[in-house]
């Protein structure tokens, strides 16, 4: 299995993973042989990459961060909560549903054999806020697990992150999805989603105060330049520090109707560059060690001109994974070559190449 940009997917290629809608339902099952019309339709829906079967990688196991069933449960939970808010019943949030969804996520992540490399999820345009909340929760929980959090703290953190953008339900979609630059007034309205979310969650006593503060604090920055209160350094709770990193990383690597996604390695470099300004340095040390620079399955180009795919992560060297190459320039090699880049200091990944 390898990750292939939809512009390079050939008609007749076989899906190695199902194509999942933002709601968690299956659009195309794994094992389906894609047609030209399928490929064009998926492009129109905003799907940039697909996982395609490749017998040269049959011996490599690529897991998933969470199951499709868990993703569907999480999606339905956010949708259910959103419907309560839109109907003016904020005080009646079904907290047990939120807790159950996060428990499923935690269970899936703890049972994953390669949590570091399996955060890649293919996605389209629809329901960005819901999709973003789920993926941000996954990333935040990975950081919580890596920080040694107890199950109680993971549930508390995860429940807060899944609801961190719930205040956006009260922001007009015309502002959230605006393709042109926001006016000053529109940006101020966007910023109010943190306060709106906090106010919604604190009306329900079954949400812990720390969980509700994730919505309140996830836009605060380490140097005090964030909002809504301009908190600085340790004034920001650890859950808020984790969520701010996960939130930005997920946003950068997700495409929107008004901009393209950037590659995970570029998002990784940006996040690290903001240490001690936007983000807590201690949180970034955990991030550096537990979020893959090049997710498993990604296509890469090496400094020697060879091209292939990431097949496994190096936990001690996240930017130097195990790779398998199949091409030298445009010529297919007679036999694939495996490299542990941690043991090959002269070789560097120079770009992502999902052909």
What tens digit of pLDDT does each residue of 188-223 get? 999 999 999 999 998 887 889 999 999 999 999 999
The residue among 125 and 279 whose pLDDT is bigger is: 279
Which range among 113-122, 134-143, 335-344 shows the weakest confidence by mean pLDDT? 113-122
- What are 51's strand-pairing partners? 3
pLDDT in tens, 325-340: 999 988 999 999 999 9
Which range among 77-86, 131-140, 179-188 shows the weakest confidence by mean pLDDT? 77-86
pLDDT of residue 257 exceeding 70, the answer is no
Q: Does the predicted TM-score (pTM) go above 0.85?
A: yes
Domains defined for the chain, CATH in brackets: 2-57 (3.90.105.10), 68-290 (1.10.3210.10), 299-352 (no CATH)
Q: Could you give the residue ranges of the DSSP H alpha helices within the chain?
A: 36-44, 68-86, 95-111, 128-146, 151-162, 173-176, 184-191, 193-202, 209-217, 238-252, 264-273, 281-290
């Amino acid at each position: 299995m390898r990750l292939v940009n939809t512009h390079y997917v050939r008609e007749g290629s076989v899906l190695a993973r199902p194509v999942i809608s933002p709601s968690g339902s299956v659009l195309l099952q794994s094992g389906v042989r894609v047609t030209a019309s399928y490929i064009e339709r998926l492009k129109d829906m905003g799907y940039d990459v697909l996982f395609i079967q490749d017998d040269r990688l049959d011996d490599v196991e690529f897991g998933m961060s969470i199951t499709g069933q868990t993703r569907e449960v999480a999606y339905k939970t956010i949708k259910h909560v959103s419907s309560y808010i839109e109907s003016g019943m904020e005080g009646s949030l079904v907290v047990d549903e939120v807790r159950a969804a996060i428990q499923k996520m935690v269970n899936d992540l703890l049972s994953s054999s390669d949590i570091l490399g399996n955060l890649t999820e293919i996605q389209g345009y629809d329901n960005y806020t819901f999709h973003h909340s789920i993926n941000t929760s996954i990333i935040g929980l990975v950081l919580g697990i890596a920080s040694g959090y107890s199950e109680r703290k993971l549930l508390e953190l995860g429940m807060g992150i899944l609801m961190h953008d719930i205040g956006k339900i009260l922001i007009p979609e015309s502002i959230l999805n605006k393709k042109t630059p926001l006016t000053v007034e529109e940006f101020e309205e966007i910023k109010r989603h943190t306060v709106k979310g906090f106010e919604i969650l604190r009306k329900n006593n079954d949400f812990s105060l720390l969980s509700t503060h994730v919505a309140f604090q996830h836009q605060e920055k380490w140097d005090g330049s964030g909002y809504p209160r301009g908190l600085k350094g340790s004034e920001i709770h650890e859950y808020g520090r984790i969520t701010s990193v996960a939130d930005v990383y997920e946003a950068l690597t997700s495409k929107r109707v008004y901009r393209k996604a950037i590659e995970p390695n570029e998002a990784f470099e940006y996040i690290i560059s903001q240490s001690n300004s936007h983000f807590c340095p201690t949180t970034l040390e955990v991030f550096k060690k537990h979020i893959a620079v090049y997710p498993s399955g990604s296509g890469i180009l090496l400094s020697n001109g060879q091209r292939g795919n990431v097949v496994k992560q190096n936990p001690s060297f996240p930017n130097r994974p195990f790779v398998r190459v199949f091409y030298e320039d445009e010529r297919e090699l007679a036999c694939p070559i495996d490299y542990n880049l941690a043991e090959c200091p002269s070789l560097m990944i120079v770009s992502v190449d999902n052909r």
